[in-house]
Amino acid sequence: MKPFNHSVNGKARPARRVTRGALGMNHGPDKGRQLIVSLEAGDLVSFRPKGTRQRHAASVFDLFTYVIRCRAFADARERRRERAA
């Protein structure tokens, strides 16, 4: 498995991929653009709308915590709906 600080020809390069889907209507001027996602050194994940220079980065640990929290909230919401029904 490649670590986050993988290299190409001895130089550290982030692993970049372009999403299959595009941003939806809630993203203003970036709607319809694909995202470029990079795994970078320092355990960072960065996102950039294709064709722009704006970059948003987050720690993988913060993203993992966010995903776990979202799942917990969704489970709690589902349990509340079942109790209410």
Among candidate residues 15, 72, 74, 4, the one with its CA nearest the CA of residue 42: 4
pLDDT tens across 4-20, in order?
Answer: 767 778 787 888 999 99
pLDDT digits (tens, 9 = 90+) for 43-59: 899 999 999 999 999 99
Rounded to whole angstroms, what are the CA distances from 69 to 46, 56, 58, 65, 76?
20, 20, 16, 6, 11
pLDDT one-digit tens code per residue, 55-72:
999 999 999 999 999 999
Domain boundaries defined on the chain: 7-84
Stated pTM of the model: 0.76
